[in-house]
Amino acid sequence: MYNFLIVGSGLYGAVMAQQMHAAGKKVLVIDKRPNIAGNVYTENVEGIHVHKYGAHIFHTNNKKVWDYLQAFTVFNRFTNSPVANYKGELYSLPFNMYTFNKMWGVVTPEEAAAKIAEQRKEITGVPRNLEEQAISLVGRDIFEKLIKGYTEKQWGRDCKDLPAFIIRRLPVRYTFDNNYFNALYQGIPVGGYTKMVAKMLEGVEVRLNEDYLADKAKWDALAEKIIYTGPIDAYFHYKLGYLEYRSVRFETELLDMPNYQGNAAVNYTDRETPWTRIIEHKWFEFGKDEAGNDLPKTVISREYSSEWKPGDEPYYPVNDERNSALYASYKALADKEDNVIFGGRLGEYKYYDMDQVIAAALERVEGLG
């Protein structure tokens, strides 16, 4: 008999497993994929750590989380500074003095602030949706060129129908700082995320290619407590209806050239280009292999966003009103499952960043005593 069966070996599951194992509990981790690490899984292609389920750039202000991870990896000095490509015009992200200069020719922070103040006048009152929030933060020009097309592609919804908080993830700065995140700590695990997660799971029994929901009773019989990190609505067989997710499809290519786009991430912010962004994975590690040699080839991934349907991988919860209400109903059911803990982006239906997932898992562990 195991003390804990952990369903899913992504970050939530891995932290739980590591903590419980360290506390002397008997733990079994299962995952329906052939590999550990959930969506942070990285795969080595010609010396490049390819982020198989989308780019993951670790960043946090939470010192406890940062310190915790140091036992399992070394982080490099990568700082995310994506470039926006709007019909061939390139802009710096996040929105900062370089962006404002390119957009309007303004040179000083005061000039930029005046331009934005003029453009935000069209929004009166508290912004009620993503469009109003964006215009009130950076004005209509930036909204039209750098936000509207990208957001509508990513979410498949009009900016007026999306919650304002999504755009507040991005900093707006009146300085020449291209760091996409407001975080004290940032970096990519040297050797890839898979290596980091493998280290977290050291000593823990892991079984891959095992689908919990396909044989739930069998698995439940093996452990005193279940930690479930899959989609909460799937756990309940969608009996209250489907929660909406966005899914992502990647078109990945190995190219026989050393440098395709000169940056890890280029966002295509117009509406017409079908992909949202292109990731060139080698730049997460400065174009070098683990021995420090320049890599002669490169791997790129074009990212296409789509509405999730059964059978697809869910990536992003759509935290609008309808889904939030439906989630609350599922959560009420989940609270009645005495021996099951629901956790992570899918288990809690939250647009969590990696550090928030880890923080949530560490907190939950404390609650378990």
Residues recognised as catalytic: 169, 173, 246, 277, 303, 351, 353
> Contacting ligand UDP (CB under 6 A), which of 19, 96, 151, 178?
151
Is residue 183 involved in binding ligand UDP (CB under 6 A)? no
CB of 229 to ligand UDP, least distance (A): 18
Amino acid at 143: F
Judged by phi (left if over 0) then psi (alpha if -120 to 50, else beta), residue 157 lies in beta
Phi, psi at residue 121, to the nearest 5°? Answer: -60, -25
By CB under 6 A, name the one of 27, 37, 84, 206 that touches ligand UDP.
Answer: 84
Is there binding between residue 150 and ligand UDP (CB under 6 A)? yes
Q: Which of 15, 40, 147, 200 binds ligand UDP (CB under 6 A)?
A: 147
The 5-44 contact track toward ligand UDP, x by CB under 6 A, reads: ----------------------------------------
Asked if 307 contacts 247 with a C-beta cutoff of 8 angstroms, the reply is yes
**Comparing C-alpha atoms, which of 357, 339, 317 is closest to residue 231?**
317
**Listed residue (40, 35, 30) closest to 6, CA to CA:** 30
Helix 109-120, helix 97-104: angle, nearest 10: 70
Site string for ligand UDP, 93-122 (x = CB under 6 A): x-----------------------------
For position 65 contacting ligand UDP by CB under 6 A, the verdict is: no
* DSSP-assigned letter for residue 289: -
CA dist., res. 119 & res. 212, Å (int): 52
- Rg for the chain (alpha carbons), in Å? 22
Asked if residue 267 binds ligand UDP (CB under 6 A), the reply is yes
Among 17, 40, 167, 299, binds ligand UDP (CB under 6 A): 167
Strands (E) located in the chain: 2-7, 27-30, 42-45, 48-51, 58-60, 83-86, 89-92, 185-187, 205-207, 223-228, 245-255, 265-268, 277-280, 298-307, 316-317, 340-342
Interface residue with ligand UDP, options 103, 146, 201, 232 (CB under 6 A) = 146
Beta strands per DSSP E along 42-93: 42-45, 48-51, 58-60, 83-86, 89-92
Is residue 166 part of the contact set for ligand UDP (CB under 6 A)? yes
305 binds ligand UDP (CB under 6 A): no
Site residue total, ligand UDP (CB under 6 A): 13
**Nearer Cβ to ligand UDP, position 166 or 227?**
166
User: Minimum CB separation from ligand UDP for residue 170, in Å?
Assistant: 5
Binding stretches for ligand UDP (CB under 6 A): 84, 93, 146-147, 150-151, 154, 166-167, 169-170, 267, 269
